[in-house]
Structure 1
Amino acid sequence: KELIKATVNGFFENVSFPKVSVLGHSRGGADSILASWKNENVEKLVTWASIAKLDRYSDRQKEEWKEKGFWEVLNTRTNQLMRLNYSLLEDILKNKDTSLNLERAVSELEIPYLILHGDQDLAVPVDEAKQLYEWSDKENTQIHIIEKTGHTFDIKHPFEETNSKFEQLISLTLNFLKN
């Protein structure tokens, strides 16, 4: 919660233009939703393969996380082992009904919102995109499920070349931001 607040405040203190659009992927989608919620400087929001819930861990995982003081997650695309400190889980559990409440944030958005997701996403099920849309103001929200693609829209790390699924993602995003 504090990281999102500091990032948003720090960013908007240093910009000289009145409005920005915010885009986030996966967990960054949730951060983007929270950063855009009740923020007058944000004019549009786009999420790619966003999570719809921050409290996504089993009781066993939470207990192990607490015992170790951290939880390690392997990014299978980059082979990077990412360590999440227990303070992250504490923050999620403490604030999931208030400042980290994604359902409330999405339902209270007053800006145009574009949700993009691959129908074969194994990291974040497409049902989470549908859940975000369900919570949203349908007058201000568009959802596009891109067929036959997954969490990274068929982009590999490191980036070498584009593909039709990623081009579709970029095209939908740019058209939304331009209009």
Structure 2
Amino acid sequence: MQIEKNKILDRAHKKPILLDTFYSEKFSNQPIVIFCHGYKGFKDWGAWNLMAKSIAEAGICVIKFNFSHNGGTMENPIDFPDLEAFGNNNYSLELDDLNDVINWATKTFKDNPFVDINNLILIGHSRGGGITILKSSKDERIKKLITLASVCDFSKRTSTIGNLEEWKKLGVKYVINGRTKQQMPHYYQFYEDFKANEKQLDIEAAEKQLQVPHLIIHGNNDTSVSINEAYTLHRWNPKSKLEIIEAADHVFNVRHPWDKSTLSNELQTVVSLITTFVKK
């Protein structure tokens, strides 16, 4: 197994991106899966490393990364020392980050005999699911899409966060991070960017326009993103495949930190669904 952790993607006039790659040398022409974390998430959260290794062992190259403005740094990708970056994050930046990661992947693995750069799949968790839906509807390089506990609407999450007038007046509002207890800022630019790019950030329109197979996975015990959002995505795109994981919560019954050497039964089911979908 070839695993490289914390590779730095430097970009001109942009914040760098931290990436991990996993692939097996037992298979040739492996598809590439790029994993996008969710809100207040990061690539090393919980069992994501174990999940990536499990997928890679099945003969699939896995790339996961931290969005450039997720609040982590190159030196500390786990916690959120860069709250200024977090406050300046927005959906447009995340779409741009993902595009740069795709470009990096196709360039990095171009001559690698174990990897097929023409077979590219996106996986997005939670808010990252919304990002991958938007990207998959526009980028012909992407051949399949998998969303885990995905949101189906950015509008209601952006417009209804607290009092808009107060947010505009103060220029910032804060959310508590349950794990680190930090007060995490959202600058008003987040709302302004959404309104300026509302058409391009319409998940419903993107889902209806999807030309690639879409696997929708959701737990029926998810209290963070309602299972109704999975049903809604499936309704918008009846060709999609919907899989409900019984008794699974928003993170498929794993936690951070995850010190066990095995996945939860629910996340193992997710991995099995992913590998079957990617390889068929």
TM-score under structure 1 length normalisation: 0.88
Aligned to 1:172: 273
Query: 2:267 is aligned with what amino acid?
Result: F
Gaps of 5+ in 1: none
Matching residue within 150, 161, 175 for 1:50: 150
- Checking the alignment, whether the CA contact within 8 Å between 1:154 and 1:166 is kept in structure 2 is yes
Matching residue within 233, 241, 246 for 1:142: 241
Q: CA deviation at 1:44?
A: 0.6
Query: 2:169 is aligned with what amino acid?
Result: E
* 1:7 is aligned to 2:97: yes
Matching residue within 35, 40, 46 for 2:135: 35
> Secondary structure at the residue paired with 1:176?
helix
- Checking the alignment, whether the CA contact within 8 Å between 1:78 and 1:157 is kept in structure 2 is no
Aligned to 1:24: 124
Q: Distance in 1 between matches of 2:101 and 2:259?
A: 30
Higher mean alpha-carbon deviation, 3-12 vs 145-154, is at: 3-12
Query: 2:232 is aligned with what amino acid?
Result: Q
Q: Distance in 2 between matches of 1:114 and 1:78?
A: 32
Greater CA radius of gyration, 1 or 2? 2
Matching residue within 206, 210, 228 for 1:127: 228
Aligned to 2:25: none
Aligned to 1:100: 201
Aligned to 1:157: 256
- Checking the alignment, whether the CA contact within 8 Å between 1:4 and 1:35 is kept in structure 2 is no
1:123-162 alpha-carbon deviations (Å, 9 max, x no partner): 11111111111111x23x1011111121111110012232
- How many residues matched? 176
Q: RMSD across aligned C-alpha pairs, in angstroms? A: 2.0
Higher mean alpha-carbon deviation, 41-50 vs 1-10, is at: 1-10
1:61-72 aligned at under 5 Å gives the runs 61-72=163-174
Higher mean alpha-carbon deviation, 59-68 vs 87-96, is at: 59-68
Higher mean alpha-carbon deviation, 108-117 vs 14-23, is at: 14-23
Q: Distance in 1 between matches of 2:178 and 2:222?
A: 13
- Checking the alignment, whether the CA contact within 8 Å between 2:121 and 2:145 is kept in structure 1 is yes
**Structure 1 pair 132/79, CA: closer, same or farther in 2 (3 Å)?**
farther
1:93-119 alpha-carbon deviations (Å, 9 max, x no partner): 3332x1001000000000010111111
Query: 1:10 is aligned with what amino acid?
Result: D
Q: Which has the higher helix share?
A: 1
